[in-house]
Amino acid sequence: MNTITPELHAISVFIATLNSVKGWGLPTVFIAISFGPWVAMLIISYYNHCRFETVVRMYEKSISNNDEMKELMNGFREMAKDYKDVLIRSTQASLRVEKAIGTSAYCPVERERRKTSQGRATR
């Protein structure tokens, strides 16, 4: 795993430049001391900007996922509302059936039950 990062490449270029200007001595050191921090700050600023752009893209993606989640939740609410209506209607229908069975004189079991309950009431 022999990868050269941009920082290492910049350092090697700087060292190569210093080796090529050996005869300059003091002026080269003066230039390096004067402008080196500025160059380093520009490089750091560029990498921070790239990192910031990556973070912005991450948050934009998160927001788009949030919009999708809102759409899913709205769909779920509509489905739950429809299910609630079905449940209410089903309960009402079963109550009507129970009431019809309870008041039905056509059911032999119900007729017997009524006769026995009326017989007890008259006693």
- Give the pLDDT score at 11: 86
| pLDDT beyond 70 at 67 | yes
Total domains, the chain: 1
The answer to whether position 29 is within a domain reads yes
Structure confidence at residue 2 as a pLDDT band (50, 70, 90): low
The answer to whether position 32 is within a domain reads yes
The answer to whether position 88 is within a domain reads yes
Instruction: Please write the tens of the pLDDT for every residue from 3-57.
Output: 778 888 888 888 887 677 666 667 767 877 888 889 999 999 999 999 999 998 8
**Residue span of the structural domain in which 117 resides:** 25-122
Give the contacts of 21 (CB within 8 A, at least 6 positions apart): 28
- Give the pLDDT score at 105: 65
The answer to whether position 40 is within a domain reads yes
The better pLDDT of the pair 42, 121 is held by: 42
- Give the pLDDT score at 104: 66
The answer to whether position 20 is within a domain reads no
Q: Among 92, 6, 1, 2, which Cα is nearest to 42's?
A: 6
Instruction: Please write the tens of the pLDDT for every residue from 74-115.
Output: 888 888 888 888 889 999 999 988 887 767 667 777 778 777
DSSP line for 72-122: HHHHHHHHHHHHHHHHHHHHHHHHHHHHHHHH-SS-HHHHHHHHHHHHHHH
The answer to whether position 80 is within a domain reads yes
The answer to whether position 117 is within a domain reads yes
Q: What is the DSSP letter of 24?
A: G
